[in-house]
Amino acid sequence: MALRNLTNREVITGSDFKRMVTGAYSEFLLEYESINEQAKKDNPKLVTPPGTNILRTMGAAVLPLADTQDDTIGGLARRVASAAALGARGSSGVVLSQLFRGMEKGLLGKIDATSSEFGKAFQYGILYAQRVLPEDVDRPIISTARAVAKGAYKAVRANLPISEILTAAIEAGERKDGKPLVVGERIMVDFLRGCQKGLNGNFVSPMLNFSVGTGDQKLGIPDPRKDEVHPYCLTFEIGNSKGDAERLEEYLQSTASFILVERHKGKFTVHLHTAHPGIVLEQCVGFGRLESIFVNNMAEPHAMIRANHSLMPVALLAVAYDEKHAERLQSLGANLIALGGEDDTPSVGALVNAAHSDLAESYVMVSDGTRLNLELHEVKRILGNRVEIVKAGNREEQVAAVRLFDGNLSAKENAARMNAMLAKES
């Protein structure tokens, strides 16, 4: 049995958490190109670069830390987890977002945390990351997560400082046979190393990316501002018998996305997505009395607000690798297209937002291959029965599935027909 260090009174603050997450982002800034090169070498047929996907996921995760007024560790963990969940790209990005989601659950409501509390929250995050894959699927990033959890367990039980807990986790994630880490293993270990460097203040600050971005674009580094997510769905009414709905909609463009402003019985009804619901409400105070205010975190399951008046009962949403394939899908009857190729994989948030367009009451979402399987799993987790998922193995299978779409059938009935056809063909 490990002896407990009863003298450890270390407290992890919100500022410590900020440094850890920013340190992880900084580590991926240094390593993502090397991760891409290794992945391409290991699998020449690789469609999307995992290093870029993980960097962009981390970019989305850290952006809320740049200007938040919340300095509690629980509040910051929640903001990071929500942004990561919607900003996740590719399988590795989804796994990482689930790690943050588990940490959020362990730190929720805490102003700060002891080393033991933070260590337990970290283990909770590893548990969430493990659960994201089906039981019959194993990947290096998940097997490494299991090893990391076991390695950190004794350190957490012994009430060691968080830096030592991270050291134990890193050592557990490294290969014992001396061989280089494979990509999935490397991503998990690089994340831990970045967190440790951030906690100790031993990392290159990536704040240039948050504020300027131009110099990084010349180097080909993704600008994280382009990956900012708007996780809060905000609806409210403004008591105002006058005013121009279109002008109000234009006014709110700077702080929100997916904006819909309608006038009804002497009131404005506002529905939008934003990263800063408080700022939006403050902007609107001068327009009239604010009423019926509802804020939902779209990263949480089943939190989406249904449209009061959709244009159709069911719509078909297809993912397209390029514009040429998108045009083909549209000619076959796809109502919405989520476009994204090798260097611009659609994020979970992009797919969620597409199904939140108020076009339809429910959606059938058809992939163009296996590259987004884990993302689609997350979309289903968030949207629930509002979306049905069809995982095509390639573009031609996707085309065959799209041809079967029937607007007179429900989303569930359409998905069942498509999946039955794909199962028969495979």
pLDDT at residue 201 above 80? yes
pLDDT at residue 314 above 90? yes
For the segment 342-354, the average pLDDT, to the nearest whole number, is 84
Residue 218: what pLDDT?
47
Take residue 381 and report the two structure tokens written for it.
Answer: 């987790």
Round the average pLDDT of the chain to a whole number and report it: 86
Residue 211: what pLDDT?
44
Per residue in 389-422, pLDDT (tens digit) is: 999 999 999 999 999 999 999 999 999 999 999 9
Per residue in 34-58, pLDDT (tens digit) is: 999 999 998 888 878 899 999 999 9
Residue 181: what pLDDT?
87
Residue 78: what pLDDT?
95
For the segment 54-65, the average pLDDT, to the nearest whole number, is 94
HEC profile of 279-330: HHHHHHHHHCEEEEEEEEECCCCCCCCCCCCCCEEEEEEEEECCHHHHHHHH
Domains by residue range for the chain, with CATH: 11-226 (1.25.40), 232-297 (3.30.70.3100), 312-425 (3.40.50.510)
Per residue in 93-122, pLDDT (tens digit) is: 999 999 999 999 999 999 999 988 998 898
Per residue in 145-195, pLDDT (tens digit) is: 888 888 888 888 888 888 898 999 899 888 777 788 899 899 999 999 999
Residue 215: what pLDDT?
40
pLDDT at residue 219 above 60? no
Per residue in 138-152, pLDDT (tens digit) is: 678 878 888 888 888
Distance CA 43, CA 45 (A): 5
% pLDDT > 70, the chain: 89
